[in-house]
């Protein structure tokens, strides 16, 4: 095989295997873009693979952080659930950071609204 083709094949195999190792948010409760008539009691995050949730913040429309009793996870899981305080009417943004088994960090965010 041509050395250039061999190098290209190895590179493509490496890239495709590292992409497959990444996890992403599969579902959340509240869902991204949800418009709720009452404050949610729980924040749930379900990822496509087992990951460690290392950072989680909830901010209102002014950017003020809502206090959460969150502690970074020491064990990997695909499912996380956290009790929420009573949220007044506002727009909210959840920002999360996860770490995969390969120690690669991934970030994401989603938003929801509480009409109250």
pLDDT recorded at residue 17: 43
Residue with tokens 């991934």: 106
Residue scoring higher pLDDT (6 or 29): 29
pLDDT recorded at residue 75: 95
Residue with tokens 């007044």: 88
Per-residue model confidence as pLDDT tens digits over 13-45: 555 444 445 899 999 999 999 999 999 999 999
Q: Give me the torsion for CA of 80, 85, 87, 93, rounded to 10°.
A: -40
pLDDT recorded at residue 62: 97
- Going 100 to 102 to 105 to 107, the CA torsion angle's sign is negative
- Distance from C-alpha of 12 to C-alpha of 26, rounded to nearest angstrom: 26
Closest CA to 100 of 17, 9, 30: 17
pLDDT recorded at residue 1: 61
| Alpha-helical segments (H) within 2-58 | 3-20
pLDDT recorded at residue 19: 47
Residue scoring higher pLDDT (49 or 18): 49
% of the chain at pLDDT higher than 70: 82
Residue scoring higher pLDDT (67 or 16): 67
- Going 32 to 40 to 99 to 22, the CA torsion angle's sign is negative
- CATH architecture observed for domain 23-114: Sandwich (2.60)
């Amino acid at each position: 095989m041509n050395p250039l083709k061999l190098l290209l094949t190895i590179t493509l195999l490496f890239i495709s295997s590292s992409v497959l190792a990444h996890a992403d948010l599969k579902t959340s409760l509240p869902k991204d873009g949800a418009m709720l008539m009452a404050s949610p009691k729980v924040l749930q995050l379900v990822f496509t693979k087992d990951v460690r949730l290392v950072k989680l913040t909830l901010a209102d429309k002014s950017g003020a952080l809502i206090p959460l009793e969150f502690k970074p996870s020491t064990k990997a899981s695909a499912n996380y659930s956290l009790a929420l305080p009573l949220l007044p009417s506002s727009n909210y943004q959840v920002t999360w950071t996860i770490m995969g088994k390969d120690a690669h960090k991934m970030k994401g965010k989603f938003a929801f609204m509480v009409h109250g």
